[in-house]
Amino acid sequence: MKVLVVGSGAREHALAWKLGRERGVTEVVCAPGNAGTRQQACARSLDVSDPAAVLALAEAETADLTVVGPELPLALGVQDLFTARGLLLFGPTQMAAQLESSKSFSKNFMVRHGVPTARFRVCDTPEAAIEAVSCGEFGFPVVIKADGLAAGKGVTVAPDRPAAEMAVREAMVADRFGSAGRRVLIERCLVGPEASFFAICDGRRALALPTAQDHKRAYDGDKGPNTGGMGAFAPNPLVTPDLERRIQREIIDPVLDGMSAEGYPYRGFLYVGLMLTVEGPQVIEFNVRLGDPEAQVVLPMVEDELAPVLEAAARGTLETASLARSSDCYVGIVLASGGYPGSYQTGVQIEGLEAASVCEDVLVFHAGTELRDGEVVTTGGRVLTVVARGGNMAEAIDRAYTAESRITFVDKQVRTDIGRTATEADFGPEETAYE
């Protein structure tokens, strides 16, 4: 099987790495890829915001299966083009992708189908949004979300009314998130630990992947602005087998049934961002692809071959058997450019990649990198994800930070507390509260 992986981040590097190791995969093409994907896949130039270009590349490469990493091509209808041409792509249709591309669609869908989520209000004007945060219905802190795609940065948790009003004005008046913020959602702030739940869906059935937890805030202690993700660990010890079955029953199954009932069966990766509240798991958001950086720690845990599962799901013929998972723990640390998620410098030379890669049980996945005159340089805010495996979380954390310390570039930005909340002391006493 020849597989085309679409995207240029660490998530796509992890996909190319996983698929390229499998017996049934003869070749992996990654487009546009990065400096790291060149180690596992053939590189091709591609504008991922052009679904027609994705289709043309798949045809030119005679790809048996196309796997789309980022959300944008899916939101723009790349699956619909492939279906019309009779080509196989793993990912949802444009209508189904609204679960991520429109938070108002997603929230109203959840209400229609009884999926547990926070109380909310959709606001189309700044005046309506300010009234919503001021009326006392949601209390403080309150959550303000841009309705559209904002690269993981369109959410503000405002501690008080002035901060909430500022977040509204930044989104709706100052156009901080462009057209994505012209409509906003005001939500009650849920309380509890977070969990990332992933499933491979074929329109009717779903296979669960290992669970994870992301670290969204830029700085230690979950301080600072939201980012695309500064690190992750897997598995999430709070998601016990009983809780996983509950998530499947109360969230995944109603989503698949509801999407089918409304005329757009869901096929693709389904990411469920969860808050584990005292009332049970509630949905924070859906993504229609694997999370990043969660994919970098989840995919190495999958012990079975992934390609035939993705192909079967794309055809709507997924079996109900589970995928074998590693019993080890994985921690991924994002190395970012200084200033991220604000302004940052690019074109900075990266050193120490080889020294990190030879560390025991360590993988280095590239994101914002490219080869320039034979040297690997930075091209984005999130540059690399260093992933380590351990027999327990403490061992994985230690190996990840040891390897990360060997990589250097000017103004490297790293959180120093990734995975620390996954200790038994932190999670153990609360584990049964959500089952």
| Angle at 181 (CA atoms; ends 121, 69), nearest 5 degrees | 105
Alpha-carbon gap, residue 320 to 318, rounded angstroms: 7
Structural contact between residues 399 and 392, judged by C-beta atoms closer than 8 angstroms: no
Q: What was the pLDDT predicted at 422?
A: 82
If asked whether residues 205 and 172 sit together in one domain, one would say no
Assess if residue 106 is contained within a domain. no
- Is residue 137 assigned to a domain? yes
Q: Measure Cα distances from 421 to 194, 195, 354, 425, 427 in Å.
A: 11, 12, 29, 9, 7
Residues 284 and 201 occupy one common structural domain: yes
- Of the three residues 326, 357, 372, the one that is the final residue of a domain is 326
Is 111 inside a domain boundary? Answer: no
**Number of domains within the chain:** 4
Question: pTM score > 0.85 for this model?
Answer: yes
Assess whether 343 and 317 both reside in one domain.
Answer: no
Residue 215, domain CATH: 3.30.470.20
* Residue at 346 is within a domain: yes
What contacts 15, CB < 8 A, 6 or more positions away? 5, 7, 67, 69, 290, 295, 299
| Among 414, 423, 410, CA closest to 386 | 414
Reported as a single tens digit per residue, the pLDDT across 151-168 is 777 889 999 999 999 999
User: Which residues does residue 331 pair with via DSSP β-bridges, in sequence order?
Assistant: 233, 388
Per-residue pLDDT of the chain (435 residues; tens, 9 = 90+): 999 999 999 999 999 999 999 999 999 999 999 999 998 899 999 999 999 999 999 999 999 999 999 999 999 999 999 999 999 999 999 999 999 999 999 999 999 999 999 999 999 999 999 999 999 899 999 999 999 998 777 889 999 999 999 999 999 999 999 999 999 999 999 999 999 999 999 999 999 999 999 999 999 999 998 899 999 999 999 999 999 999 999 999 999 999 999 999 999 999 999 999 999 999 999 999 999 999 999 999 999 999 999 999 999 999 877 899 999 999 999 999 999 999 999 999 999 999 999 999 999 999 999 999 999 999 999 999 999 999 999 999 999 999 999 999 999 999 999 999 886 444 443 333 333
- 232 plus 316 within the same structural domain: yes
The answer to whether the beta carbons of residues 29 and 2 sit under 8 Å apart is yes
221 domain-assigned: yes
Q: How far apart are CA 2 and CA 5, in angstroms?
A: 10
> Does 32 fall in a domain?
yes
3-state secondary structure 311-323: HHHHHCCCCCCCC
CATH number for position 374: 3.90.600.10
pLDDT confidence of residue 423? 64
392 located within any domain: yes
Same domain, 320 and 348: no
Interval 284-338: pLDDT, tens: 999 999 999 999 999 999 999 999 999 999 999 998 778 999 999 999 999 999 9
- Residue 364: helix, strand or coil by DSSP? strand
Please check whether residues 290 and 370 belong to one and the same domain: no
Based on the domain organization, do 170 and 267 belong to the same domain? no
Residues 175 and 219 in one domain: no
Of 128, 153, 147, 270, nearest in space to 200 by CA: 270
pLDDT of residue 320: 75
Q: Which residue, of 154, 172, 188, is where some domain finishes?
A: 188
Domain assignment present for residue 286? The answer is yes
CATH at residue 14: 3.40.50.20
Residues 137, 202: one domain? Answer: no
**Residue after which a domain boundary falls, among 137, 155, 188:** 188
**Do residue 232 and residue 307 come from a single domain?**
yes
Domain that holds residue 68: 2-93
